[in-house]
Structure 1
Amino acid sequence: MVNFMLKISADLENLTNLQPQGGCDDPSFPYLFKLKCGRCGELSQKETCVSLGDTVPLLQGKGTTNLVQKCKFCMREGTVTMIPGKGRPLTQEDCEGGKFAPLMLFDCRGYEPVGFVFGAGWKVESLEGTKFEGIDLSGDDFSEYDEKGECPVMISNLRSTFEPVK
């Protein structure tokens, strides 16, 4: 059993607290990434979608998981279970320090997550407190004007990594 922490970073201009629309533990937020088989190393052709709100029973009958999937190459079955309560928003301080913020923890058995895809459903707030919601980051950036703070705001240079956690 290996846990992987999804960490994100970006350049936030006059912004802070980048996170999924309903927070880091939003049950409807779709986490999209590819899976690498732990046995044969095959990488899934398409991104896999995992969300806290979707659960399936484990075949052994003990508990649930968020994803059960078979490798198309070696036919080995693996699971991905999301562990809420371990993430937090990406702040302006993180960005200034060149740091990544932990977003979600995944318990992966038989698979390794790779290549997180930023999509729709994000929120962020300006340093003046203006909230921007429903942001689509699939285009790799976001720019707007904060009327309250009278300044441009921007998200760019999106980065992500999956780090093994013991």
Structure 2
Amino acid sequence: MVNFLLKIKAELENLTNLQPQDGCDDPNFPYLFKVKCGRCGEVSQKETCVTLGETIPLQAGKGTTNLVQKCKFCGREGTITMIPGRGKPLTQEISESGGFSPLMLFDCRGYDPMGFIFGPGWKVESIEGTKFEDIDLNGGEYAEYDEKGECPVMISSLEAKFELLK
């Protein structure tokens, strides 16, 4: 069992609590990333999509997983199981300190995740309390104006990393 913790970082201007639309354990939020085979080292050409709400029974009949995939190069099968409850919103304090916030924990067997892709389905709130929902971060940034707080808001310098937990 090898666990990888997905962590995110961004510059938040007049914003706080960046997270998936329905929270860090959103069952419909699509986590998109490439996978690297643990046997041959081949990296998938296309991104893999994993969601908490989609489960597949394991062949051994014990439990479920969120992804079963065969390596196109060596044929080895691997699984990725999402473990909810570890994610936290990226706050303005963490952003200002240059830190990363944990988003999701993945139990990976046979594959290593890499290259998380920011896409649609995010939410954030201004420091004045205005909520911005269904944000698409595919372009790498987000800018808007908070009418209530009378200030510009922005998400930029998005970064993600998978940290190996031992």
> Common fold, TM-score beyond 0.5?
yes
Tell me which residue corresponds to 2:20.
Answer: 20
Report runs of 4+ in structure 1 exceeding 3 Å deviation: none
Tell me which residue corresponds to 2:120.
Answer: 120
Distance 1:33 1:89 in 2: 20
Tell me which residue corresponds to 2:2.
Answer: 2
User: 1:107 Cα deviation (Å)?
Assistant: 0.1
TM-superposition CA deviations, 1:1-42 (whole Å, max 9, x none): 110000000000000000000000000000000000000000
User: 1:150 Cα deviation (Å)?
Assistant: 0.3
Tell me which residue corresponds to 2:91.
Answer: 91
Distance 2:126 2:11 in 1: 13
Distance 2:35 2:54 in 1: 18
Do structure 1's residue 37 and structure 2's residue 37 form an aligned pair? yes
TM-score (norm 1): 0.99
Distance 2:153 2:98 in 1: 19
Unaligned runs of 5+ in 1: none
- Indicate the percent of aligned positions where both proteins have the same amino acid: 77
TM-score (norm 2): 0.99
Distance 1:35 1:60 in 2: 23
Aligned Cα RMSD in Å?
Answer: 0.4
User: 1:59 Cα deviation (Å)?
Assistant: 0.8
User: 1:139 Cα deviation (Å)?
Assistant: 0.5
Q: Between Structure 1 and Structure 2, how many residues are aligned? A: 166
Unaligned runs of 5+ in 2: none
